[in-house]
């Protein structure tokens, strides 16, 4: 009989660990809580004993669970929320989120390629500088991004653009004005290239964020196409009554 864990090509223990991690994160299993026995987890998720043990071991390595012989397995911590990427609704909030952020940046390629723009994006600038790189924290890769920056803007601080997070830098440069900013979020799964760059299984959930900043003349001065690990994405929205 097929289980829900058979529907995606990700190891069962990784999927089970994610379910358990979410229960800890949501407070369903608070700190100090004894998680259900291996037998109960086997029954609930219709998986083998080895699958449950591997999931527990994975979460123990993350410091979230502590197996104690003869007593059971206990929650020892909550998943870090600092690593989460929040999809904000305003440019100011986006800038503040990135201000002071210092991830490890690994440059993959730098070219003069032109971005693929749609009519709704606005007209292109005369030329662009394209940077493709991976962002990491504590050795864990969490996003890969292709940046297209108006060459006139890039040339104002080329070494800083290569070494720093771009959005706060872009908004701090004298003479650079952003008249319009737009972003979209699409939930997808990792293809082979993204999986290799982020070190995740193929078809792992990802969030694809596309951002476009326009200059006062309407031209696209910045385009970012970013793919985040799915477990780094959190969407927050203020709902007006």
pLDDT by residue (tens digit) across 146-180?
A: 999 999 999 999 999 999 989 999 989 999 999 99
The secondary structure of 61-119 as a DSSP string is: HTTSEEEETTTEEEE-----STTPEEE-SSHHHHHHHHTT---EEEEEEEE-PPP---G
Distances 156 to 115, 151, 160, 161, 190 between C-alpha atoms, Å: 20, 9, 9, 9, 35
pLDDT tens for 53-90 read 999 998 888 888 999 988 899 999 776 555 555 666 67
Closest to 142 in 3D by CA, of 26, 233, 18, 15:
233
Cα–Cα dist 142/61, whole Å: 18
| C-alpha 33 chain-centroid distance | 29
Token reading at 15: 């999927």
pLDDT of residue 73: 93
Q: What are phi and psi of 172, to 5 degrees?
A: -100, -10
What local confidence, expressed as pLDDT, does residue 1 receive? 43
Strands (E), the chain: 65-68, 72-75, 85-87, 104-111, 128-137, 140-150, 180-189, 205-214, 220-229, 233-235
Give the rounded percent of residues in the chain with a pLDDT score beyond 90: 44
User: With 60 as the cut, is the pLDDT of residue 185 above it?
Assistant: yes
Query: What is the helix, strand, coil percentage profile of the chain, to 5?
Result: 30, 30, 35
Instruction: List domains and CATH numbers for the chain.
Output: 4-75 (1.10.10.10), 85-235 (3.40.1410.10)
CA 174 to mean position of chain CA atoms: 30
What's the sign of the alpha-carbon dihedral 98, 88, 116, 143? Answer: positive
Instruction: Say if pTM beats, i.e. exceeds, 0.85.
Output: no
From the list 237, 182, 185, the residue with the least C-alpha distance to 209 is 185
Per DSSP, 217 falls in state T
pLDDT-derived band at 10 (thresholds 50, 70, 90) equals low
């Amino acid at each position: 009989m097929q289980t829900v864990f058979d529907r995606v090509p990700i190891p069962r223990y990784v999927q089970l660990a994610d379910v358990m991690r979410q229960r800890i994160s949501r407070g369903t299993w608070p700190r100090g809580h004894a998680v259900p026995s291996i037998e109960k987890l086997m029954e609930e998720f219709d998986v083998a004993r080895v699958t449950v043990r591997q999931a527990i071991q994975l979460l123990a390595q993350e410091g979230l669970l502590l197996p104690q012989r003869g007593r059971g397995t206990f929650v020892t911590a909550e998943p870090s929320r600092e690593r989460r990427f929040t999809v904000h609704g305003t440019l100011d909030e986006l800038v503040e989120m990135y201000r002071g952020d210092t991830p490890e940046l690994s440059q993959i390629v730098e070219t003069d390629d032109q971005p693929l723009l749609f009519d709704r994006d606005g007209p292109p600038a005369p030329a662009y500088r394209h940077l493709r790189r991976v962002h990491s924290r504590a050795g864990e890769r969490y996003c890969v991004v292709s940046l297209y920056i108006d060459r006139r803007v890039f040339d104002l601080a080329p070494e800083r653009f290569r070494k720093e997070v771009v959005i706060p830098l872009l908004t701090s440069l004298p003479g650079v004005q952003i008249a319009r900013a737009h972003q979209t979020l699409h939930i997808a799964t990792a293809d082979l290239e993204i999986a290799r760059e982020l070190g995740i299984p193929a078809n792992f959930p990802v969030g694809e964020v596309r951002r476009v900043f326009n200059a006062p003349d309407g031209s696209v001065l910045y385009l970012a196409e970013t793919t985040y690990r799915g477990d780094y994405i959190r969407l927050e929205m203020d709902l007006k009554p």
